[in-house]
């Protein structure tokens, strides 16, 4: 019988590659690879707080959106290989620096390596562990994180399968993501705060994209009307930080969103009674992407 590393089926891509020898769609082999581990101040206020979030950026990604702001690590696989032991040390170092949480950013393709690290180190952590994800995850694997993750930060990027097909080659993304987020909500329950910091819960993020405000509005209406999603069980974060990457295949993406586009989606969220966070339109002017320079990777 082949092991999981010899025939990888961690995510919905189901590549079945031997990660001892090569990488699949996500670009990852078996060895953990990260690009940065440092205090991060550009998450939602209840995550970044005053001291910052202890963000660990993992190299590779199983979604590969064509407009990704983190292209150097998501697609070009920039980063350095580390051991599970070093990852555990990084968690403790970030805690010692005053991080409000440990923020695992795009870590799903290293789940088999991360779970034993969390099982070992969790008793030494006095701060929450965050799983920050595109949500293109299998429910089966998310269940393995039950009890190890305190806060989920899932994206709900696309509501239309054709949009997901065009921009991420993943027409099943909406269906997969809905099931994944419902499992995250099952694990966390209603949000729990302590001194304005989120200690347990789920924030569903949605990036408003140029030319797709009606799709965003349809998603919000769906979340509000679907009885499986209880508005008091999660926070909504509407992001305005879309940054054009000069995409030659999809020229409609080569502009920032307009104030009208974002505000119309924001008004819908407000009218539907969602609680959570919004971004100023100037977010697209700021650098929400840190320097991926291996900061904090080595001791």
Q: How confident is the model at residue 1 (pLDDT cuts 50, 70, 90)?
A: very low
Render pLDDT for 60-99 as a digit per residue (tens, 0 to 9).
999 999 999 999 999 999 999 999 999 999 999 999 999 9
Domain-located, residue 54: yes
Asked whether the beta carbons of 75 and 245 are under 8 A apart, the reply is no
Is 239 inside a domain boundary?
yes
Kindly state whether residue 91 falls inside one of the protein's structural domains.
yes
Instruction: Report residue 289's pLDDT band, with 50, 70 and 90 as the boundaries.
Output: confident
Structural domain for 109, as ranges: 33-285
Assigned domain for 12 exists: no
> Can you give the pTM of this predicted structure?
0.96
Residue 193 inside a domain? The answer is: yes
- Supply the pLDDT for residue 287: 56
> How many domains, in total, are found in the chain?
1
Residue 22 covered by a domain: no
Confidence of residue 247 (pLDDT cuts 50, 70, 90): confident
b or e along 188-221 (b: 16 or more beta carbons within 10 Å of the residue's beta carbon)?
beebeeeeebbbbbbbbbbbbbbebbebbbebbe
Q: What is the CATH number of the domain that holds 197?
A: 3.20.20.70
Angle at 231 between CA 225 and CA 235, to 5 degrees: 130
Cα distances (Å, whole numbers) of residue 50 to 53, 98, 100, 104, 278: 9, 10, 8, 19, 18
CB 80 within 8 A of CB 107: no
Q: Is residue 59 part of a domain?
A: yes
Taking only the tens place, the pLDDT of each residue in 160-184 is 999 999 999 999 999 999 999 999 9
Q: Is residue 223 part of a domain?
A: yes
Average pLDDT of span 226-232: 89
């Amino acid at each position: 019988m082949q092991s999981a590393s010899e025939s990888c089926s961690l995510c919905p891509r189901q590549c079945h590659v031997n990660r001892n020898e090569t990488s699949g769609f996500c670009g990852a082999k078996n060895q953990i690879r990260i690009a940065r581990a440092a205090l991060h101040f550009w998450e939602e206020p209840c995550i970044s707080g005053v001291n910052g979030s202890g963000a660990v950026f993992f190299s590779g990604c199983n979604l590969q959106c064509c407009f990704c702001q983190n292209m150097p690590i998501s697609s070009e696989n920039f980063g350095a290989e580390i051991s599970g032991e070093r990852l555990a040390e990084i968690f403790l170092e970030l805690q010692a620096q005053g991080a409000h949480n440990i923020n695992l950013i795009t870590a799903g393709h290293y789940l088999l390596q991360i779970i034993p690290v969390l099982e070992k180190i969790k008793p030494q952590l006095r701060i929450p562990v965050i799983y920050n994800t595109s949500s293109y995850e299998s429910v089966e694997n998310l269940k393995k994180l039950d009890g190890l993750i305190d806060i989920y930060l899932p994206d709900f990027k696309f509501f239309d399968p054709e949009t997901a097909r065009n921009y991420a080659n993943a027409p099943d993304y909406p269906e997969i993501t809905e099931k994944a987020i419902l499992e995250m909500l099952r694990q966390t329950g209603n949000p729990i705060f302590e001194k304005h910091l989120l200690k347990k819960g789920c924030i569903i993020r949605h990036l408003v994209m140029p030319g797709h405000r009606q799709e965003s509005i349809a998603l919000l209406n769906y979340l509000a009307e679907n009885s499986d999603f209880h508005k008091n069980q999660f926070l909504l974060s509407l992001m305005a930080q879309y940054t054009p990457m000069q995409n030659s295949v999809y020229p409609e993406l080569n502009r920032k969103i307009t104030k009208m586009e974002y505000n119309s989606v924001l008004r819908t969220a407000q009218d539907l009674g969602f609680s959570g966070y919004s971004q100023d339109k100037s977010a697209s002017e700021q650098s929400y992407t840190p320097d991926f320079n291996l900061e904090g990777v080595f001791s």
